Chains A and B, each alone.
Chain A
Amino acid sequence: MKRSGFWFVAPFLVLYVAFLIVPMVIGLGASVTDDGITGHARFVGAANYVELFGDPAVWSSLWHTLIFTVTSTPVIVLVGLGMALLANRMAPERWLYRLAFFAPYLLPVSVVVLIWNWLYQPGFGLINDALTRLGLHEVGWLSTDGMAMTSIVITTVWWTAGFGFLLYLAALQEIPRQLYEASALDGATPFQQLRRITLPLLSRTHQLVIVLQVLASLKVFDQIYLLSGQGGIPGVRSIVQYIYESGFTRFRIGYASAISYVFFALIAVVALVHFRLVKR
């Protein structure tokens, strides 16, 4: 290996060590102490880990995270794929569709939540207003636990489907045009082309999009935290949010670090399972 290569990587390596490796080591150390925010930490052994396995809030927030992941991931992937197939077809206005489908992804989460919070408002919110004009009942979008999770998934799909869309669109443009021409000569219908050519050739992209989406969904925090508003909605609290609350509003950095490490282990398992599946 040439030494010059190292110097090219060095700037990244410095940041990687300073902002990822070092905090991870500090976090592991903190997880076996009763560290607060004033710096008087005592060693408590496995007490934090014992406590978290008996803490119902850990399990409920893990459960919410899981529900969010299994409901949002398939929708986001399918919507992204659907939008990519559409945008790939619309020849003249393709730029418009690309822009429209991808634009929400460029918005910061605070803006997204601001928009959807208004849409979901009871009484004067756009959605409820439309429902009542149509003679239907209002829906308490954010006022019950079950509905709040649905609303959060809808918001997330609108916001992030553009990412999968972009990856799918790029992959679609990689598929050689001759394949479609040849199959058309053989009398294949557009649906057969989709099933036999397009989808199989997108298989690597499927994997990529699904894995990235699962990982992104597991660490969901911002939109739930912001949409829940003051006081939060306990029925939708995610695990990352619980870690944040334990550390920064209850001042228990040690305990929060311990939960982070258990969650880290769970994600590592997910990643390993994926690795196994891909290898096969």
Chain B
Amino acid sequence: MNRRTFLLAGAALAATTGSACSGSAGLEYWNLFGGGDGSRMTEMVGAIGTRLDAVTLAWGTPYYTKLAMAAAGGRAPDLAILHLSRMPGFAPLGLLDPFDGDLLAAHGLTSDRFPEAVWSRARHNGRTYAVPLDTHPLVLFYNTELCGKAGLLENGRLKPIRGPEQLLDAFGKAGLALAAARDVNPWRLFWTLYRQQNGEGPLDDAKALTALRLLAKVGATTRFTDNNAAVALFGSGQAGFFWNGEWELPTFQEQHMPFDVAPFPQVYERPAVHADSHAFVLPHQRNRDPQRTERTVAAIAELIENSLTWARGGHIPAYQPVATSPAYLKLLPQANYRSEAAEVELDPAVWFAGAASDLQSAAGATIGSVLGGTMSPEGALDALKATLVRLQNTPRPS
């Protein structure tokens, strides 16, 4: 190699690395979707005009740790997914940048096009910090063959279940599988039953105890398993019911088993169901470029208009023009539980709650022990209150 080729090679190297560093025109987009959700999100990203460079990180705590650190450093990606339930832990800390209302409106992203229950949670201090993509509530999966034999069907659909007696009766007849060990599911069930009684934030003893006592009885009708085993039990026809989120839908569709999905039964005074919502946010950037932000909002609008693809995974589209479209109404069994979108109850709006939070893991373990029969409802109530006191006394991070 003589001197000239050496210099040329060096210049070429500098040019290529230089262009790689300055970044192509794509917007950076972080999300936490693996499995089927991951491939559907990739499909949506591929289908839109704006170029997004999507990065998928491990779900849960690792994701939120990385997102928070990137935002704290002020050099976060242009766009990210956040569970709406995590907003109280992110927006007040300055880890998210608010959306410009006019910019959202210019792309058709206005409050009247989203369910009130989730849009209100996307706001903080009078500003919009998130654009909801979906709601993902708990549902009741049921095996149509087993429930038919047990006489629980009417015209091929599950007869409406009302009140605790009918619920226990149905589970007793057809068998129930649910994630009770090492899972957040027990907390979600509890919060649903608690909010169905209009239970207010922490913590109405009588109403909490009512919910816990019912869960103890529910637990007695089922085997104490983790989610993998519960999915296997329902998927192999050993249980007539499966109580978890709609995100398990694709698993059972792939198994070609006879099943359908019903909304979460109304057990107490009013319909309510625990849910969360995947939402688009602008993580904090110290030097925010208005042009990039505008392109980001355009990309959000495009993705949300494509959320019928997303709905195939079981999630209910938050964007009403999609959620009320004929194509979605024909999408079964998803459309069977779309009414739940109006009944969703997110985690309490406190910084220590939300997806993959301390509250969820601690309460999930406590209530799981009630389902497993190793803790009394009274003992669990004391433990839940102790957890809440501990979390409330923890200084709020700044």
Tell me the A residues contacting B by CB distance below 8 Å: 34-42, 143, 230-234, 248-252, 255
Among candidates B93, B184, B226, residue contacting A36 with C-beta atoms closer than 8 Å: B93
Bound CA span A232–B69, Å: 21
Bound CA span A37–B69, Å: 7
Q: Beta-carbon contacts of B335-363 to A below 8 Å, as 1s and 0s?
A: 00000000000000000000010100100
How distant is A254 from chain B, measured CB to nearest CB, in Å?
Answer: 9
Taking each of A34, A38, A41, which has the highest tally of chain B beta carbons within 10 Å of its own beta carbon? A38
The answer to whether A143 touches B182 (Cβ under 8 A) is yes
How distant is B279 from chain A, measured CB to nearest CB, in Å?
Answer: 20
How distant is A280 from chain B, measured CB to nearest CB, in Å?
Answer: 45
Bound CA span A201–B395, Å: 55
Bound CA span A249–B58, Å: 14
CB-CB under 8 A from B164, the residues of chain A are: none
Bound CA span A40–B94, Å: 11
Tell whether A143 pairs with B397 under 8 Å between CB atoms, given A231-B356, A231-B361, A248-B65.
no
The answer to whether A230 touches B69 (Cβ under 8 A) is no
The answer to whether B365 touches A36 (Cβ under 8 A) is no
A38-B398, A230-B60, A231-B184 known; 13 new pairs, CB 8 Å cut-off, are A34-B395, A36-B397, A37-B69, A37-B72, A37-B93, A38-B94, A41-B398, A230-B58, A230-B356, A249-B65, A251-B68, A251-B93, A252-B395
CB-CB under 8 A from B72, the residues of chain A are: 37-39
Interface: B95 (CB within 8 A) = yes
Bound CA span A234–B397, Å: 22
Bound CA span A232–B182, Å: 9
A interface: dominant SS? loop
Bound CA span A257–B50, Å: 43
Tell me the B residues contacting A by CB distance below 8 Å: 58-61, 64-65, 68-69, 72, 93-95, 181-182, 184, 226, 356, 358, 361, 365, 394-395, 397-398
CB-CB under 8 A from A255, the residues of chain B are: 395
Q: Which residue of A lies closest to B89 (CB)?
A: A251
Among candidates A34, A143, A248, residue contacting B181 with C-beta atoms closer than 8 Å: A143
CB-CB under 8 A from A41, the residues of chain B are: 398
How distant is B364 from chain A, measured CB to nearest CB, in Å?
Answer: 8
The answer to whether B95 touches A38 (Cβ under 8 A) is yes
Cross-chain pairs A/B with CB under 8 angstroms, 22 sampled = A34-B398, A35-B398, A36-B398, A38-B72, A38-B94, A39-B72, A41-B398, A42-B398, A143-B182, A230-B59, A230-B60, A231-B60, A231-B61, A231-B184, A231-B361, A233-B182, A234-B361, A248-B65, A248-B69, A249-B65, A252-B394, A252-B395
The answer to whether A143 touches B65 (Cβ under 8 A) is no
Bound CA span A232–B358, Å: 11
How distant is A224 from chain B, measured CB to nearest CB, in Å?
Answer: 15
The answer to whether B397 touches A40 (Cβ under 8 A) is no
CB-CB under 8 A from B61, the residues of chain A are: 230-231, 249
How distant is A238 from chain B, measured CB to nearest CB, in Å?
Answer: 16
Bound CA span A252–B365, Å: 24
CB-CB under 8 A from A36, the residues of chain B are: 93, 397-398
The answer to whether A252 touches B226 (Cβ under 8 A) is no
- Which 6 A-B residue pairs are closest in the complex by CB-CB distance? A251-B397, A37-B72, A36-B398, A36-B397, A40-B398, A248-B65
How distant is A122 from chain B, measured CB to nearest CB, in Å?
Answer: 8
Bound CA span A40–B59, Å: 28
The answer to whether B64 touches A249 (Cβ under 8 A) is yes
Bound CA span A249–B63, Å: 10
Tell whether A234 pairs with B93 under 8 Å between CB atoms, given A250-B397, A252-B397.
no
CB-CB under 8 A from A248, the residues of chain B are: 65, 69
How distant is B172 from chain A, measured CB to nearest CB, in Å?
Answer: 27
How distant is B82 from chain A, measured CB to nearest CB, in Å?
Answer: 15
Bound CA span A255–B396, Å: 12
CB-CB under 8 A from A35, the residues of chain B are: 398
CB-CB under 8 A from A234, the residues of chain B are: 361, 365
Bound CA span A252–B72, Å: 13
Q: Which residue of A lies closest to B395 (CB)?
A: A34
CB-CB under 8 A from B184, the residues of chain A are: 231
